[in-house]
Amino acid sequence: AVPSAARDVGQTDRRIGREALVFLEGRGLDRDDGTEQSEAGAGLYSLLFGAVAGVTISGVVYAGRTLQVLLFDHDYYKLQSRKRYYEKQLLFTREQEETQQAHYLSAMASEYDPAACRMPFKALDPKFRF
C-alpha cells in the first residue's frame, strides 16, 4: 500500500500539471487542432469580460449613490433652510441700510443752508432751492 503522504504528493503533481496546462491554454496559444482559443482566459475574452464587469459595477455604484441621495441625503433640506434664512437676513439688512440712508439724508437736509450755496453778492440759483 502507498502511504497517504505519497498519494497526496502525486495528486498535487497532477493538479499542478493541469493548472499549468490551463494556464498555457488560457494565454491564447493555439490548440492541437490549430484553432484559436476564444474561451475563458483568452486576451480578447479577458478584455471584454473586464469591460462588461466594469460597466456593471459602475452601474451598481451609480444606482447605489442615487438611492442614497434620494433616501438618505438631508443636506439638500439643510441648504434650503440656510438659503431662506440668508434671504431673510439680507432683506432685514437692506431695510436697515435704507432706514439709515433716510436718516442720513434728513440730517443733511436739516443742516442745509441755501444761502451758503450762492455766489457772493449774487442771487441764489433756483436749483439750490427746496
pLDDT, tens digit (0-9, with 9 covering 90-100), for 36-78: 555 556 788 889 999 999 999 999 999 999 999 888 888 888 9
HEC secondary structure over 59-119? HHHHHHHHHHHHHHCCHHHHHHHHHHHHHHHHHHHHHHHHHHHHHHHHHHHHCCCHHHHCC
Average pLDDT over residues 89-115: 92
Q: Are 11 and 17 in contact (CB under 8 A)?
A: no
Q: Please report, as a single letter, which amino acid is at residue 23.
A: F
3-state SS, residue 43: helix
Query: What's the confidence (pLDDT) of residue 96?
Result: 98
Q: Residue 45 in contact with residue 61, Cβ under 8 Å?
A: no
Higher confidence at residue 10 or residue 97? 97
